[in-house]
């Protein structure tokens, strides 16, 4: 029985753009995945998790990815420049979001939110 091909670049893009609602988990594991539904329930909090999962998916070696997600598929995933650029964007935007969250938290703790 042939299984459908799971593209690593597409899974990374889904985690980067729609990771907060678990789109990458629905793509990889279907609607029966409990963690995908947890992303939906905890939407605002799971945005950071989506960035982390985009990095984890994108940095998984191709042979390990294919063994896990494309074992029964006729085609295999091959990473290229689009994935590398996507990982750079994920790291940059994720770092900016974390720094902004830390700055906002410090603002609330020490000034009561006077600067925003």
Tell me the pLDDT tens digit for each residue of 95-111. 998 899 899 899 889 88
CA 34 to chain centre: 16
Tell me the pLDDT tens digit for each residue of 38-61. 999 998 888 888 999 999 999 999
Q: How many CB atoms lie within 10 A of CB 46?
A: 20
Q: Whole-model pTM?
A: 0.84
């Amino acid at each position: 029985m042939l299984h459908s091909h799971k593209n690593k670049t597409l899974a990374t893009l889904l985690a980067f753009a729609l990771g907060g609602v678990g789109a990458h988990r629905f793509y990889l594991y279907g609607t029966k995945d409990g963690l995908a539904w947890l992303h939906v329930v905890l939407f605002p909090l799971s945005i950071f998790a989506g960035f982390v999962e985009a990095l984890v998916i994108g940095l998984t070696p191709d042979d390990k990815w294919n063994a896990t997600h494309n074992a029964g598929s006729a085609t295999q995933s091959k990473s290229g420049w689009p994935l590398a650029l996507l990982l750079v964007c994920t790291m940059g935007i994720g770092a900016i979001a974390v720094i902004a969250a830390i700055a906002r938290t410090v603002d609330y703790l020490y000034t009561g939110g006077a600067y925003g």
